[in-house]
Chains A and B, each alone.
Chain A
C-alpha cells in the first residue's frame, strides 16, 4: 500500500480525507488495542489532517498518541 500523502488528501473532499486517514490508522491501532480500535481511531480523527499524516510517518509519535487517547477514553468511560 502506497503511503498517504498530503496531495492525495487534498484531492479528496474533507469528509473523505478523514475516511482515508482512518483507514490507514485503524489497522495500526487494531494491532495495539483490538477492543478499542474503532473508538481510538474516532478520537484521533479529531486531530488536524496535517498532524495525522505526520503521525502515520512516525510510529513512535503514533504510539504515544494512541496511549494518550486510551487514557482519555478510559477516564471518560469511568
Chain B
C-alpha cells in the first residue's frame, strides 16, 4: 500500500525527496 510510505522520511545530509512545496 502506498500509504505505508507516507510521510517521506527526512535523512540529514541527504537531498530531500519529498514535495518541494505545497
Residues of A within 8 A of B (CB): 13-15, 17-19, 22-23, 25-27, 37-39, 41-43, 45-46, 48-49, 73, 76
Contacts and interface: CB of A to CB of B under 8 A. Distances in A.
The secondary-structure label for the interface of chain B is: loop
Given A23-B13, A38-B9, A46-B18, 13 more contacts: A17-B21, A18-B16, A22-B10, A26-B12, A38-B11, A39-B10, A42-B10, A45-B19, A46-B7, A46-B22, A48-B21, A49-B21, A73-B7
Contacts of A25: 10
Interface residues on B, range: 10 to 19
Interface of B: 3, 6-13, 15-16, 18-22
